[in-house]
């Protein structure tokens, strides 16, 4: 029997990608689809690429609409998830709730207030199963699994933090990297900004041009990146993070550098990354000399990673590519649903990308 999944925020890019993945999933089926301003519309008016759901009516997002399902995916703007999730019953009587927004990602209430403002909604288990942790183990061990006691709540990571964390975490977990000197420059496609129309995202402004934003440590994903890498290192990690907007619909390419710790063996770098991800189905360390490309991950739940040592500068360079709507959001949500509902973690998720 399939588990029913309601999707709130179903008319956005992330919600649409969740629906696409659910349609091809062997153990999940689409339940209610809801949204805010587009309630009452036919879903096909927003996602014509999903013909099997075109005739569905988009409902108002409310606890009553979402209740009664085995699981709920919240693909809502930041700040809208916490109150809605609180109104859904927890424990065995309530659904698994997976939040694709930032409301429950951060543990540090001070970081939440600084970067998001307002009261901290509180942390949920963080849904990046592959993240290696200091002292051994994975973030997977901290996530709800089928048969475990509820309530079952999971916070889906941000797209940039997923790419950066997967790129650098093995080096911190292996005690190879200096936690005080980390620099990241990452490019994202326009879908990372959501579907709401904005002047700076018009095709005429984006095509043929790249631009930075959130410069100077102001991007909201900065504390999440530092949180994840600190979990891997077992001590605080400070990151200088600069995102850029690339003229492409989807994809993230994160170029991350960190200074080697004094006395660290440069020859231990690549083996540390290979050992960390050898058993992970969704993280691929590429052969030496092959560098990640966003196009190779489109439509898949995979992150492609490569690492090298700049011996002259004494730095490690780690690059990760992923689909910001795949492994960066919707794919991660389904991966966490699989774990929480007791299904194979890989169910319904592709590892092969689209080409060309």
3-124 and 160-324, same CATH topology: no
Q: How far apart are CA 324 and CA 319, in angstroms?
A: 15
Q: Is 280 helix (H, G, I), strand (E, B) or coil?
A: coil
Q: What strands, in cross-sheet order, belong to the sheet with 153-155? A: 59-60, 28-35, 3-8, 71-74, 96-99, 153-155
Q: How far lies 83's CA from each of 2, 152, 153, in Å?
A: 28, 16, 14
Q: What is the pLDDT of residues 220-245, one digit of tens each?
A: 999 999 999 999 999 999 999 999 99
Other beta carbons less than 10 A from residue 348's beta carbon:
20
Q: Where are the beta strands (DSSP E) in 102-198?
A: 153-155, 177-188
What pLDDT was estimated at residue 204?
Answer: 61
149 CB neighbour count, 10 Å cutoff? 8
Give pLDDT, residue 79. 87
Local confidence band at 196 (pLDDT 50, 70, 90 cut-offs): low
pLDDT at 114: 94
Quickly state the pLDDT bin for 198 (edges 50, 70, 90): low
Question: What is the second-level CATH architecture of the domain 3-124?
Answer: 3-Layer(aba) Sandwich (3.40)
Residue pointed to by tokens 């996602």: 47
pLDDT tens-digit profile of 134-190? Answer: 999 999 999 988 766 566 899 999 999 999 999 999 999 999 999 999 999 999 988
CATH architecture of the region 160-324: 2-Layer Sandwich (3.30)
Q: Decide if 131 contacts 169 (C-beta within 8 A).
A: yes
Burial class (CB in 10 A: 0-12, 13-18, 19+), 199: exposed
CB 302 within 8 A of CB 353: yes
* Range of weakest confidence among 63-77, 84-98, 324-338: 84-98
In the predicted structure, residue 40 carries a pLDDT above the cut 70: yes
Q: How confident is the model at residue 209 (pLDDT cuts 50, 70, 90)?
A: confident
Cα distances (angstroms) measured from residue 266 to each of 34, 119, 290, 307, 311: 51, 44, 19, 11, 8
Mean predicted lDDT score pLDDT of the chain: 93
Instruction: Decide if 323 contacts 355 (C-beta within 8 A).
Output: no
Region 26-52 average pLDDT: 95
Taking the C-alpha atoms of residue 259 and residue 314, their distance in angstroms, rounded to an integer, is: 6
- Do the Cβ atoms of 86 and 63 come closer than 8 Å? no
Question: What is the token pair recorded at 352?
Answer: 């092969």
Catalytic residue positions, numbered: 159
**The pLDDT value given to residue 356:** 84
Listed by start position, the domains of the chain span: 3-124, 160-324
pTM score of the predicted model: 0.95
pLDDT of residue 201: 65
pLDDT given for residue 145 in this prediction: 87
Instruction: State yes or no: pLDDT of 92 exceeds 60.
Output: no
């Amino acid at each position: 029997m399939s588990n029913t999944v309601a999707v709130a925020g179903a008319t956005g890019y992330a919600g649409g990608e969740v629906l696409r993945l659910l349609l091809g999933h062997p153990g999940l089926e689409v339940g209610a689809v809801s949204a805010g301003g587009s309630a009452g519309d036919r879903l096909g008016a927003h996602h014509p690429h999903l013909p099997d759901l075109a005739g569905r009516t988009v409902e108002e997002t409310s606890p009553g609409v979402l209740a009664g399902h085995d699981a709920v995916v919240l693909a809502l703007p930041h700040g809208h998830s916490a109150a809605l999730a609180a109104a859904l019953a927890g424990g065995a009587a309530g659904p698994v709730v997976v939040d694709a927004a930032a409301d429950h990602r951060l543990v540090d209430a001070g970081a939440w207030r600084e970067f998001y403002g307002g009261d901290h909604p509180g942390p949920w288990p963080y849904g990046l199963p592959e993240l290696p942790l200091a002292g051994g183990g994975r973030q997977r061990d901290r996530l709800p699994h089928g048969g475990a006691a509820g309530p079952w709540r999971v916070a889906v990571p941000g797209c940039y933090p997923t790419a950066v964390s997967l790129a650098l975490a093995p080096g911190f977990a292996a005690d190879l990297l200096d936690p005080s000197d980390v620099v990241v420059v990452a490019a994202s496609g326009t879908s990372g900004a959501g579907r709401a129309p904005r002047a700076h995202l018009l095709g005429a402004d984006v095509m043929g041009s790249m631009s930075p934003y959130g410069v100077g440590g102001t991007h909201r994903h900065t504390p999440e990146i530092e949180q994840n890498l600190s979990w891997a290192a077992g001590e605080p990690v400070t990151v200088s993070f600069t995102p850029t907007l690339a003229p492409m619909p989807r994809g993230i390419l994160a170029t991350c550098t960190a200074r080697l710790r004094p006395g660290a063996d440069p020859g231990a770098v690549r083996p540390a990354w290979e050992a960390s991800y050898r058993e992970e189905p969704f993280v691929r360390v590429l052969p030496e000399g092959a560098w990640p490309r966003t196009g190779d991950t489109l439509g898949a739940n995979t992150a492609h990673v490569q690492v090298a040592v700049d011996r002259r500068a004494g730095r490690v360079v780690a690059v990760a590519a992923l689909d910001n709507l795949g492994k960066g959001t919707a794919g991660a949500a389904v991966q966490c649903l699989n774990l929480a509902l007791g299904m194979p973690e890989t169910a319904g998720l592709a590892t092969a990308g689209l080409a060309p």
